[in-house]
Structures are given as C-alpha cells and as structure tokens.
Amino acid sequence: MNIAVLPGDGIGPEIIAEAVKVLQRIAQDGFDFTFETAPVGGAAYAASGHPLPEATLNLAKAADAVLFGAVGDWKYDTLERHLRPEQAILGLRKNLGLFANLRPAILYAELADASSLKPEVVSGLDILIVRELTGDIYFGQPRGRRTAPDGAFAGQPEAFDTMRYSRPEIERIAHVAFKAAQGRNKRLTSVDKANVLETFQFWKDVVTEVGQQYPDVQLDHMYVDNAAMQLVKAPKKFDVIVTGNMFGDILSDEASMLTGSIGMLPSASLNEKGQGLYEPSHGSAPDIAGQGIANPLATILSAAMMLRHSLGLPEQADRIEAAVQKALAQGLRTPDIHAPGTQKVSTAQMGDAVVAAL
Amino acid sequence: MNIAVLPGDGIGPEIIAEAVKVLQRIAQDGFDFTFETAPVGGAAYAASGHPLPEATLNLAKAADAVLFGAVGDWKYDTLERHLRPEQAILGLRKNLGLFANLRPAILYAELADASSLKPEVVSGLDILIVRELTGDIYFGQPRGRRTAPDGAFAGQPEAFDTMRYSRPEIERIAHVAFKAAQGRNKRLTSVDKANVLETFQFWKDVVTEVGQQYPDVQLDHMYVDNAAMQLVKAPKKFDVIVTGNMFGDILSDEASMLTGSIGMLPSASLNEKGQGLYEPSHGSAPDIAGQGIANPLATILSAAMMLRHSLGLPEQADRIEAAVQKALAQGLRTPDIHAPGTQKVSTAQMGDAVVAAL
Ligand SMILES: CC(C)[C@H](C(=O)O)[C@@H](O)C(=O)O
Ligand SMILES: CC(C)[C@H](C(=O)O)[C@@H](O)C(=O)O
C-alpha cells in the first residue's frame, strides 16, 4: 500500500512525522506500507516555484492514499493567487477528483472544558459534516474581472464567480452522506439556500430524490443561515450534515470550533475510486512551527481515517483511535489542549504515547 | 414623517403593534408620525396573490421609513419561489436600494445566561455586522437551470448562480462600515474568501483602498471560514464586521445566536437617501403566532434604529433603548427570555412596560 506523504508548511512536517510513526507501528503487525514524501504548498514553491509541482501531483495520483500536513505561511501571502500555498490543496482536490470531504466534529469528554460553549450544550457532541469538495463556486467557470455587462452598475469594473452544481455531482455526494448516516444515527440534514439560490433549490430537489433510496434515513432540510445558528444553539441535534463546497467550508469550521480543540479533528477527502487525501482540520500554524508544541492527534486520527476509508483496514483504524483515547485518558496534553491537572507534553511525546498505547 | 408599517406573517402583527404603540408614545412629545399599514409576505399573497403587491411597494417607496414585522409560514412553502413570502423582503431590498444592512449583536447583561456560550466568552458582547444587501449571488444574473455547457459534467442537467460585485457597490458599503467603526471602537474586520473567489479578492482590494480614507480605523481581513470560527471562539475580539450579502447572511445569524436572545436583536437596512427598512433579526415564528407570547423588544429596538437612522431623532432612539433596558431591569421577560427569578409577561405587557418606562 503506497502512501504519499505531503508534509507542507508550518507545523506540517512535525505533525506528519508523528502520524508516520504511528503508521509504522501498525505496519509492524504485518502490513506493507510504503511511504514516499514530496513537497507541497509554500515549501514546494520555495523549492521549485510552484505550490503543487508536477512530481508531487503524480505521486499523489499514483498512491493509494495521501497523508497531508498543512499548507500556508504569511510569507507567501503577497504571491499571485495561483502561486499561493492553498492552491496546492485546491489542485489536489480537483485533479484527484476528491469530491467527498468527511469532517467529524467530536468533543472528547476529557477536553470538554476547552469549548467556549457551555458543557451541557456540547458534552458528547458527535456530528459528521459531509462537504462536497470539487464543485460549487470554488471551481465554477466563468469567473474573473471585467466591465459589468449589465445591471445597475453596467460599465463599472466588477469581479464575478459562478456557482454551479450538476445533477450527478449532487447525487454522488448525497449517496455518500446517506450511507454515512446509515452507519450512524440515521439522520441527515441537507443544508441549502433554496429560498435564494437556483443552485441550492436544485440541490434540495436532487437530495430529496436520492433520499427515496434510503427510507431508513430521516432527511431534513435547513437553510444555511439557520444551520449556522443551530450549530451554536443546539449542535447535538445534528447527526450528519451534507452541504455544498462553500457552505461546507464555513459550517465545518464553525462546527469544529464548537469542540474548542480543533487540534483533535481529522478529515478525509475521497474520490470515486476510494483514493483519499487525509489531513487535520486545522491549519499550518506558522506562528508555532518548529517548536515541537503542535498537537499531532488530528493528523494521527486522519491516518486512522485513511486506514478505514482507503486502505481497507478498519480494525487498525479503531486501534489507533483507541490509542489516542488512551493517551488522553493518561492525562497527556499538548499545550493547545492543556488544562490544570494534566501533563503537558511535546508533539513527539504525544506521538510516542500513542505508539506506546498501540 | 411617514412610516410604512408592514406587519407580515406569523408573530409579525403582534410585535409590530407593540412597536407602533411605543412610537405613538414618542409622538405625544411633539413629533408628527403618520402610520400607513399594508400587507406583505404570505398575508399579502393570501389577500391578493402576490407577496409584495404593487400598492405595498409604492407605499414603502414613498415613506420616510418602513417598519417591517416578519414574513414566512410553512403553509406557503410549496408555492413557486417567486410567490413565496421571503420574496417580498428581497423585492423591497432591491426596489428601495437598501444596500446597507446593520445588525448589532449585543448581549444584555440581564440575559447573559440565555447564551449557549460560557459567560466569560460572551459577557459584554457588542459587535456590529454590516452586511451588503443588494448585490452578490443574491441578485447576480445570469442564474437558472440548464444543460451544463462545459466542464467535467458537460451535457448534464445543472443549476447555476452568479456572484458579482462592482467597484461602486463595494465602495459604498465600505464607507458605511468605516463610518460605523469610527463611531465605535475604530476596528473593522472585512470578511472575504479572497483565497478562492475572484469576487472577494476584488472586495478585499477595494475595501483596502477605501480604508486609506479612514486612517483612524484599524482594518483587518479575515477569511469567512475563519470568521465563523472566531465568532464561536472569541467573539468579543470583533468590533465591526463588514462582508458581502451571502457571507453576511450566515455570519450575522451566527453572531446573533451567540447572544442566546435573538428576540432582542434589531436590524436596519438603509439606502443612499437615508430611507430605511427596520425589522427584528428573528423570523415570523408561525408556531407561536397569535398566542401573545412573542418578544416585541427586537421590533421596538428596530423602531429606535429607525428614529436614529432615518428620522433624524437620535435622542428619541436613546430614550427607547433606555426604556427597554429599564423593562429588563424590572425583571420583565417574555417566555423566550424567561429565567427563574424573573416575571413572565405577554407581548402586550412588555410593550406597555416600555411605554411606561418612557
Ligand atoms: C485553504 C482553503 C482554500 C480551503 C478551502 O476553502 O476549502 C480551506 O479553508 C479548507 O477548508 O480546506
Ligand atoms: C428570508 C431570506 C431571503 C433572508 C436572506 O437570506 O437575506 C433572511 O435570511 C435574512 O437574512 O434577512
């Protein structure tokens, strides 16, 4: 099983090192993992002038799965857009066809205090956001700058983008979401803005149609503004949420912050062939890079998702998740989740603790 | 001073009645307010087949200000989109050119417990969201359904919308936001998605340019996904937020829910002539309509914003706001904000208490 390892920028290399350590420990039990590393993001731009070099893309395409750290650093903020680090992640999603982004928002009992929400509102929180990842206004053509061709400001300079979803794109993400709901509490909330957008009236119609194939799943529909409110008010009412790329970007980050410990949250981005890219939900945190204080657990949990969704090793995934739980139960905490009465450890010590728990 | 009164659906008529009561009390001190009422939303559809009848629109256009209740009821959910109640509010915004939506999110000390966030995270919260209201993907043409003309799904049925912002549209909302910040803590956060969208790279560029005219205001820029997180994590770090129509829809609702008492939050939507539409931030709540239990304070506070922004009576606005504070300090609470140790009152009793406090 070939794993492409793309550490990226900021804390990326440090957290990836721990996840690889954990996977190597799993491999010792009789699995054949091959790791090949390549630069991505700002690191790749610095080395070769492009955030997603051809060789990196080819490595990712050929691999069974991609383990991704994080990209981005303020020093690249003034580059032209197509050279900026985050274009690498957009390019990987598009080129690998990674249309299904799974982002769990789970509150670990041990970390309940970290949330900015009241304990009774978030304790036991366990929701899954299924975000469409290759369509919508992220990639829709045409887009650009021009002189406004019509409307009240015709003749003025303007910029524009196109939101688009085709029927097959909506159908395939809906199937992913309904299946995910079947494996959980069998409730799915489709988030749209059908009262304003043609795209999301169509989205709602198609999701409703697909839902007829999943009579065991209770489907409801919610406007995105209301979803943003309900996540704050009563997040535990959700089980699985499915939505488009743009709304999913916003709501999945909002949901992850409800836990107060975004350093714990993994993500998976899958294509139709079962290939996937696995990355922590948090960013590259250049401000703390190189200090050995980053939390590697989101990346380690992303590696677990990789075993489950791309490498056909669900039991090994369970083992890793249990090992993470154990490290938490032992009171070990990186600084981002440290609280009185627990033991502060470094990035590497946390990785070692997970390996030991395995 | 001519005030168009559009009660709308659900609890709209009940809450509007209390706001009018309060305005009539102000009038007794020597102001000449004329109230003219017209149907809007589902009520207008039921009466005349259209959610925004010509006569209602003309009344609103001719008025100095519009006092708006709320629209929407499940019984209209199956109507074609252009006949649904919420089209009335979109039509009023567009036809009156109400491009600047001001939505304060304030936590009243007396109601701190109502928030789902921890008291230390939200106590003293006072942020203002300035949302552009007549552009963006809400109104951008072209939009519709078609056969995909290009891309990976060419030939498939699809739906699409267009996000657009012209330079003058961004400039004028930026000026409103910078001026609002000057009257507050002089910090402005412009929320965009410049890393993905052409429209919002342009937005960021133009807001930055306009900012040069306001050297006393500290401007920063934040991606919308990060803003959705920071609102949960540390909302008090914000002073004024300015953003586009779509992101503003989501973030302003998220922000208002941080307070836990959306029944308290007013809004103003202004055009270039100083005309405005004033409405509570909450919806029509058809489930509790007609029971006399709705909270009228958001509508009463919207009337205060009307006095301040459209009718040139800022001192009378202050008086109303102080009267609302007094009613809260007396321990009076409608059921939505009721807590042990306070006195539960009806919609009309709350309105009367505000009048008495005046
Ligand atoms: C970096 C950025 C382009 C990206 C996105 O908007 O999708 C990020 O926010 C994410 O959610 O993975
Ligand atoms: C009813 C709907 C069209 C409207 C919007 O999306 O603008 C509402 O959510 C609001 O924020 O006033």
Nearest to A26 by CA among A346, A322, A281, A329: A322
What are φ and ψ of residue B180, in 5° steps? -60, -40
- Whether the domain at A1-98+265-358 and the domain at A126-258 fall into the same CATH topology: yes
Residue B205 CB–ligand 2 contact under 6 Å = no
Choosing among A193, A205, A254, which should be mutated to test the B contact, i.e. which has the most B CBs within 10 A?
Answer: A254
Q: What pLDDT was estimated at residue B77?
A: 83
Closest CA to ligand 2's atom 6: B249
Q: Tell me the best of B103, B249, B252, B277 to mutate to test the pocket of ligand 2, counting ligand atoms within 8 Å of each CB and taking the most.
A: B249
Q: Which residues of chain A have pLDDT under 70?
A: none
- What is the arithmetic mean of pLDDT over B113-136? 96
pLDDT of residue B85: 95
Local structure of B82: helix, strand or coil: helix
CA-based nearest residue to B152, from A276, A97, A170: A97
Positive or negative, the Cα torsion across B272, B199, A205, B228? negative
**Domain locations in chain B as residue ranges:** 1-99+266-358, 126-258
Give the separation between CA A27 and CA A34, rounded to whole angstroms. Answer: 10
Mutate which of A195, A226, A229 for ligand 2? The one with the most ligand atoms within 8 Å of its CB, which is A195
Q: What is the DSSP letter of A190?
A: E
Ligand at minimal distance from the CA of B245 is 2
Residue B78 has pLDDT above 90, yes or no: no
Of the candidates B226, B233, B257, which has its C-beta nearest A116's C-beta?
B233
Q: Is the pLDDT of residue B350 over 90?
A: yes
HEC sequence for B117-184: ECHHHHCCCEEEEEEECCCHHHCCCCCEEEECCCCCCCCCEEEEEEEEEEHHHHHHHHHHHHHHHHCC
Interchain contact, A249 vs B224, CB within 8 Å: yes
A187: number of Cβ within 10 Å:
15
The reply to whether B78 touches chain A by the CB within 8 Å rule is: no
Cβ-nearest to A137 among B153, B163, B195:
B163
Helices (H), A193-290: 198-211, 224-233, 245-258
CA distance B111 to B172: 35
- A78 interfacial to chain B (CB closer than 8 Å): no
Quick: pLDDT tens for B183-209.
999 999 999 999 999 999 999 999 999
Most distant CA pair in chain B, distance: 67
Question: Residues A17-58: pLDDT tens digits?
Answer: 999 999 999 999 999 999 999 999 999 999 999 999 999 999
Average pLDDT score over chain B: 97
Q: How many CA atoms lie within 13 A of A138 on its CB side?
A: 21
| Amino acid at the residue A232 | V
Tell how far the Cα of A193 is from the centroid of ligand 2, in angstroms: 9
| pLDDT at res. A144 | 98
Residue ID of nearest Cα to ligand 2 atom 3: B86
- Tell me if B93 is assigned to a ligand binding site: yes
Nearest-10 Cα torsion for A160, B162, A248, B233: 60
Instruction: Chain A: give the shortest CA distance to residue B24, in Å.
Output: 34
Q: Which amino acid is at B73?
A: D
Q: Is B140 annotated as a binding residue?
A: no
Find which of B71, B153, B250 to mutate to test the A interface (most A CBs within 10 Å of its CB). Answer: B250
- Residue partners of B209: CB distance under 8 A and separation at least 6: none
Q: Is A179 exposed, middle or buried (0-12, 13-18, 19+ CB in 10 A)?
A: middle
Instruction: Report how far residue B133's alpha carbon sits from residue B173's, in angstroms, rounded to the nearest whole number.
Output: 9
Give chain A positions within 8 Å (CB) of B114.
Answer: none
Measured distance CA(B221)–CA(B177) in Å, rounded = 13
Q: Which helix (H) or strand (E) holds A102?
A: strand A100-106
B294 is in an annotated binding site: yes
The pTM of this model reads 0.97
Whether B251 is in the pocket of ligand 2, judged by its Cβ within 6 Å, is no
Which residue intervals of A212-313 are DSSP H helices? 224-233, 245-258, 297-309
In short, whether A339's Cβ falls inside 6 Å of ligand 2 is no
H helical segments located in chain A? 12-27, 42-48, 54-62, 86-96, 119-122, 167-182, 198-211, 224-233, 245-258, 297-309, 314-329, 347-357
**What's the confidence (pLDDT) of residue A348?**
98
Q: Is A81 on the interface with B (CB under 8 A)?
A: yes
CATH of domain A1-98+265-358: 3.40.718.10
Q: Which of A149-163, B35-49, B69-83, B178-192 has the lowest mean pLDDT?
A: B69-83
Cα separation of A66 and A40, whole Å? 12
Q: Are A65 and A308 in contact (CB under 8 A)?
A: no
| Per-residue pLDDT, B189 | 98
Closest atom, ligand 1, to C-alpha of A90: 3
Of A81, A160, A168, the CB nearest to B164: A160
What topology is assigned to B126-258 in CATH?
Isopropylmalate Dehydrogenase (3.40.718)
Helix (H) or strand (E) holding B22: helix B12-27
Query: Quick one: DSSP state of residue B206?
Result: H
B89 ligand 2 Cβ < 6 A: yes
Going from the Cα of A355 to the center of ligand 2, the distance in angstroms, rounded, reads 50
pLDDT at A184: 98
What size, in residues, is chain A? 358
Q: B29 exposed, middle or buried (CB, 10 Å; 0-12, 13-18, 19+)?
A: exposed
At the top level of CATH, the class of B1-99+266-358 is alpha beta
